């Protein structure tokens, strides 16, 4: 299994589109939509983070959530 370090929702979206297992469930689609959608508020960034983590769990790709919503929000703005 590859290790990935993500620092933004855009990086999460790229990982979802380019390196994800072929079979995609509804949780994957929700995560992709959240990571590529509006990220103007802390709540939207946190939603993208949580959606990505749920998709990783669904795909059997555990991901350590070490980055905070506040850090992501600062990088998005």
- Residue range 63-72, pLDDT digits in tens: 766 555 444 4
Q: How far apart (Å, rounded) are the C-alpha atoms in residues 2 and 77?
A: 29
Overall domain count for the chain = 1
pLDDT in tens, 21-51: 878 889 999 999 999 998 899 899 889 989 9
In a domain, 27, yes or no: yes
User: Mean pLDDT over residues 4-30, rounded?
Assistant: 86
In a domain, 70, yes or no: yes
Q: Is residue 2 predicted with pLDDT exceeding 60?
A: no
Q: Indicate the pTM of the whole model.
A: 0.76
In a domain, 55, yes or no: yes
More confident residue, 35 or 8: 35
Q: How far apart (Å, rounded) are the C-alpha atoms in residues 60 and 38?
A: 27
Q: Which domain holds residue 44?
A: 9-76
In a domain, 21, yes or no: yes
Cα–Cα separations (whole angstroms), residue 46 to 1, 38, 67 = 26, 12, 11
47: left (phi over 0), alpha (psi -120 to 50) or beta: alpha
In a domain, 3, yes or no: no
pLDDT at residue 30 in the model: 96
């Amino acid at each position: 299994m590859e290790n990935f370090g993500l620092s933004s929702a855009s990086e999460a979206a790229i990982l979802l589109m380019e390196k994800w297992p072929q079979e995609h469930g509804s949780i994957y689609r929700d995560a992709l939509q959240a990571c590529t959608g509006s990220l103007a508020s802390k709540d939207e960034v946190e939603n993208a983070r949580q959606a990505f983590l749920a998709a990783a769990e669904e795909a059997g790709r555990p991901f350590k959530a070490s980055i905070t919503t506040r850090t992501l929000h600062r990088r998005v703005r």
